[in-house]
Amino acid sequence: MNNYTNYTFEDFILDESFNRYALNVNDEDVTYWQNWFSQNHENIEIANEACKSIQLVRFRKSTLPLQFKNNEWQALSQKLQLDKKKVGNRTRVIGVWKYAAAAILLIGLLNAVYFSSSLFKLSEEITYTEISVPKGQIKNILLPDSTLVFINSDSKLKYSSDFGKKNRQVYLEGEAYFDVTHSDKKPFIVHTLEYDIKVLGTAFNVSAYLNDNVHQTSLERGKIAIIDKTRKEIILIPNETHLLIRNKKQSKTYRVEDIAKFSSWREGKILFRNQSFKNIAKKLERTHNIHLRINNQEIENLRYTGEFSKNDSIEKILEVIKLTTKLNYTLVNDTVEIN
């Protein structure tokens, strides 16, 4: 990501991506610049100044009304007069003329610089639809572009009211399976906490729960690009899965013969493949809407492989696990104590 250390006020004003961010007209640019603001401190004051200036005017591709310019210049003149009374050294004078130069530049740019009409056209108010799936449930939806999405328990999916018009972008917290309608002109982008997934038309599963250390994307068909926070792209082909271990900031991509197992939750299946009981407990909390409290650290690290149905009771699942894993449990209402 460019650090924009040498960017001036004028550079930010002229940067189309920065303008789209300031006016909130493109989700991808908004995400990019939000990441920039959170990761960079140099030049951030000038960037904020430019952002506020752009947001203030929100103009069309036309000359500003004379009355508006007069009012702005009057307000600036009054500020300069007040600042002159406080001037006590050369540094302060430079500060005053910095404001004046910035204001003159902005007003000149607003009248003289050509921006495409699509960039600064006042857009309709954008609203968002958010689908929240509680623990113990699974939901499937059809997006406006006919993309089919299965959303797993304890997950959220969000998309804007202009979805499909300018772009196809969704925001995911949790797990979902996407069967994406093909479009060469409008790539489908899934935004998660750690990375973005860009596709044209494909089927894949994404597990990106906020409190999980492992985030995983598995591709069934088509082709996808995983774009991390540094804008590096990792290409996945069918039967490949990408694994990110968040606390170690390590990732790897490997081939899996039975790739469909990662999305088998859509059919109500619960699969464990050599998983620690700590991770098993998290999954059971989501599928059965219960709380598991593990009081023995040794049990947390025990590993288990097995397959269950979402319709199996929590008692049945724990009894089967108990056959090969040394654990005892008590169930009171919706809380399970593991000893």
Residue 241 and residue 288 in one domain = no
Residue 203 and residue 237 in one domain = yes
% of the chain residues with pLDDT over 70: 76
CA distance linking residue 172 with residue 158, whole number of Å = 7
CA distance linking residue 52 with residue 12, whole number of Å = 11
Residue 250: predicted pLDDT: 92
Residue 289 and residue 254 in one domain = no
**Average pLDDT score over the chain:** 80
* Structural domain contains residue 26: yes
CATH of the domain at 167: 2.60.120.1440
pTM of the shown model = 0.64
Query: Total structural domains in the chain?
Result: 3
Task: Kindly report the backbone phi and psi dihedral angles of residue 154, in degrees, each rounded to the nearest multiple of 5, phi listed first.
Answer: 60, 40
Residue 141 and residue 111 in one domain = no
Residue 62: which pLDDT band, with cuts at 50, 70 and 90? very low
Residue 136 and residue 219 in one domain = yes
Task: Kindly report the backbone phi and psi dihedral angles of residue 218, in degrees, each rounded to the nearest multiple of 5, phi listed first.
Answer: -125, 130
Residue 63 and residue 20 in one domain = yes
Choose from 23-32, 97-106, 142-151 the range with maximum mean pLDDT.
142-151
Q: Is the pLDDT reported for residue 255 higher than 90? A: yes
Residue 27 and residue 83 in one domain = yes
Residue 143 and residue 167 in one domain = yes
Q: Please name the residue that has the structure tokens 């924009």.
A: 4
CA distance linking residue 1 with residue 231, whole number of Å = 7
* Structural domain contains residue 25: yes
Q: Is the pLDDT reported for residue 236 higher than 60? A: yes
Residue 208: predicted pLDDT: 95
Structural domain of residue 58, as residue ranges? 9-120
* 238/8: higher pLDDT: 238
Residue 248 and residue 155 in one domain = yes
Q: What average pLDDT does this structure show over 172-186? A: 93
Residue 108 and residue 142 in one domain = no
Q: Is the pLDDT reported for residue 279 higher than 60? A: yes
